[in-house]
Amino acid sequence: MSGGQPETKIGRRGIAIAALLLTASALALLRPVPAFSQETELRGEVSESAILADQQRKARQLRAQGSQDQNSPAAVPLQDTTTTYQPASPGAVPDDDQAAGATDSIFDQQPQATDDSSAGTTAPVKPRRPSTAKQRTQDAKAKADTKAVDKKKAKKKTATDATTTAATARTSSQADAAADEEDANRRAVTIDSVDRQKLDPGAERTASIEGQKIKPEDDPFAAPGVKIGTFLFRPTLEQGFTATSNADSSSTGKSAVLSETALRFTATSDWRENSALITGYGLFRNTVSGQKIDDAQGRIEGQLNVDLDNELRAIAKLGYEAAPESASSPDAIAGVTQQPLRQTVDGSLGIEKSVGKMHYALTGAVSHDFYGDAELSDGTSISQKDRDSTLYTATLRTGYEISPALTPFTEVEAGRRIYDLRVDADGFERSSTRLGARAGLELDMGEKLSGEFSVGWLREAIDDDRLPAVAGPSIDAGLKWSPERGTIIGLTGKTNVETTTTAGESGDILYSGRLTGERQIRANLTANSALGLDWRDYTGSDGHDLILSAEAGLTWWLNRYAGITTRVRTEKLTSNLPGRDYTANSVYLGLKVQR
């Protein structure tokens, strides 16, 4: 029996120890430990430093748990070793000393309180604060670990930037989803990855619009025009007053103050291949004081250019003009209150073709003149029907292109003038046959110099043998020269055969020449001038007229749509025929508007 008691005591002691171990194990299993996934919050992108710190913390917790289970007695209650460590200074990383506690990652959080009965209610025990010297040692080690981690992060900078760039390229719907996810977990993007994002080049600040240079317009005061269908319409209206020493430009003219209204316009097409141009003007004069003047004149003309096949081009023109007979005309009627109105309808059709350097052009033209009655001072009128006539002409031109700028040419003309009345009131047959020949030069040097001039001979033989033919040299010119920008000099010359119904007379040849100049002094100030010379040679006599004229003017634009214009003019006619000399001087001031 005595030998069995010790064995019994030993057995009981072993059973007690085993029961104690089982009890401790059960309590350890029932201890509230958060789930690993909840504790580490494995959601979204996690930085490498956070993963490394979390692994170190878990290792220290396991070592501390094992040491506590072996050394503490059964009567001592177990403590929760998952208590969050509070560092002595911000950003400190502890070493392996358990007394200092385990430093949580920036992604670590304590689990939320739930209604689960398995969760413990024991409050965690706050660890002791380490000594100041030991804390400094821990801070120094934490800095060294941080530098090592930063070096590893720099090696993966390219991958992080690629991820950031891909994230910014999402569509609007994906961006909204990402924003919602970021609100749920703001630790999905690490702080260092955000700092390494590149700036968007499109978000850089640019200069203001006011600071950019704007190309100035060549002519800031030119008419902008009005778009009407496929045409750009540019109208101009001018209203002013003229003080003149000779109201009707005649040998018997008197001084007067006249109100003048002028309307001009151009309409240009914007077609892709062909082109069209319409021009027109109207001038109305009324007496304010002095000699009685009440007349109107105007013209409208259209031109159509059509490119055909095989280097063929067609040019068509049509025009209408109405103007009173000039008081200085050889056919002017004395003692009338108003000279007869002359109306002209003209048109032409031309075909041009180029074969190598040779240029050919054939043009057919027709012009019909008809006159109104002349009103006498006694209330009667004189019919002018015997002056109505139609002129038909055909012109053939041949040119050779020496260079793109120079093309000499020759031209022949044939025509027929037919009067509505075969025999006039004095018994003369006024119809005639027209022949002409000219040689000239075309110039095309761009804006510097362009146009043409020609000289030749022109003759009209009247059907009535009692009347001599009207013949003489022919001079025609149309040139524009721009010696410098803003300056344009023009030269025009024409040769016209003027017919008459005066008994025993055939008519005359009128040579007209104009030299014009325009200078843009400033953007809103333009000066213009003109010199004129007319020579009239009467057929069948030695009579002649010489007309000299000069004009100068200024236009000052107040804005793009309105300006003030003024001009002075002088004109003098000298003739070896009696009763034809006169001198006329005038000054004009008016307002000009355009659109």
Degrees to nearest 5, angle at CA 325 with 321 and 253: 135
Q: What dihedral do alpha carbons 15, 16, 18, 22 form, nearest 10°?
A: 130
Where is 480: in which H helix or E strand?
strand 470-481
CA-based nearest residue to 556, from 516, 591, 595: 591
CATH number of 308-541: 2.40.160
Q: Dig out the tokens for 210 from the structure.
A: 């006011």
Where is 5: in which H helix or E strand?
helix 4-30
> What are phi and psi for residue 139, nearest 5 degrees?
-65, -40
**What residues does CATH 2.40.160 cover in the chain?**
308-541
Yes or no: say if 92 and 38 are a contact pair by the CB < 8 Å rule.
no
Per-state percent for the chain, helix, strand, coil, to nearest 5: 20, 45, 35
Strand pairing of 470-481 and 358-371? unpaired
* Dihedral sign of CA atoms 192, 197, 203, 205 in order: positive
Strand pairing of 294-307 and 275-290? antiparallel
- Per-residue pLDDT 10s for the chain (595 aa) are 444 444 455 566 767 776 777 776 656 555 555 444 444 444 445 566 667 777 778 777 777 766 555 554 444 444 444 445 555 555 555 544 444 344 444 444 444 444 444 444 444 444 444 444 555 666 666 666 666 656 666 555 544 454 444 444 444 545 555 455 554 444 444 545 545 555 555 555 555 555 556 666 777 888 889 999 999 999 999 999 999 999 988 888 899 999 999 999 999 999 988 999 999 999 999 999 999 998 999 999 999 999 988 789 999 999 999 999 988 888 888 778 788 999 999 999 999 999 989 999 999 999 999 999 888 877 788 888 989 999 999 999 999 999 999 999 999 999 999 999 999 888 899 999 999 999 999 999 988 999 999 999 999 999 999 999 999 999 999 999 999 988 999 999 999 999 998 888 999 999 999 999 999 999 899 999 999 999 999 998 889 999 999 999 999 999 999 999 999 999 999 999 988 999 999 999 999 999 9
- For 132, residues 6+ apart whose C-beta sits below 8 A from its C-beta are 88
